[in-house]
Amino acid sequence: MDDTRRYLNVGDRQWPALRHEVTDPDPPWVPDAEVMAMLKGFRRRRAEVVFESGWGVSILWGTGAYGDNHDAWRDTDPFTELPEHVEVGVMYRGELVGEPFGYVTADVLNRWLDAVSRLTSEPMDADALLAMFTGQEAT
């Protein structure tokens, strides 16, 4: 994520990101040593690409997300800001449609961003969306 220009870099492409969140929590209470060790390692990044139609894509990577850095719970665990696999959720007017997809590569993410950018402003159910992404018939 390029913070200065508000772009999300996906492989060799750039997408305008409406939102960008960095979660490196600093709790308002004083947790015990074990909890603090886990919280210090909790790092999560999120970008959201939203299109005029109301459709958007939420890209998440970091601690607990289904992608690279999933197991980076402690501050001593390796963490990459440029993951090869991320968690992706498709949104319509700010609401998640269906379940997020895990371990998505840059090539697949770019294809999905292209597909979502071409959607009309009509809502679509999760089965139809899944069929569009997987090339399988909706159930």
In the chain, how many domains are there? 1
Q: Buried b / exposed e across 4-35, counting CB within 10 Å, b at 16+?
A: eeebbebeeeebebeebeeeeeeeeeeeeeee
Residue bearing the bigger pLDDT, 7 or 95: 95
Q: Does a structural domain hold residue 89?
A: yes
Query: 19 lies in which domain range?
Result: 7-132
**pTM: predicted TM-score of the whole model, two decimal places:** 0.75
Q: Does a structural domain hold residue 139?
A: no
Task: Quick: pLDDT tens for 44-77.
Answer: 888 899 998 999 999 999 888 899 888 887 777 7
Q: Does a structural domain hold residue 138?
A: no
Q: Does a structural domain hold residue 2?
A: no
Percent of the chain with pLDDT over 70: 77
Whether the CB-CB separation of 80 and 93 falls below 8 Å is answered with: no
pLDDT at residue 41, rounded to an integer: 60
pLDDT at residue 23, rounded to an integer: 67
**Could you tell me which residues are beta bridge partners of residue 44?**
23, 62
Q: Does a structural domain hold residue 103?
A: yes
Q: Does a structural domain hold residue 70?
A: yes
| Mean pLDDT within 8-34 | 67
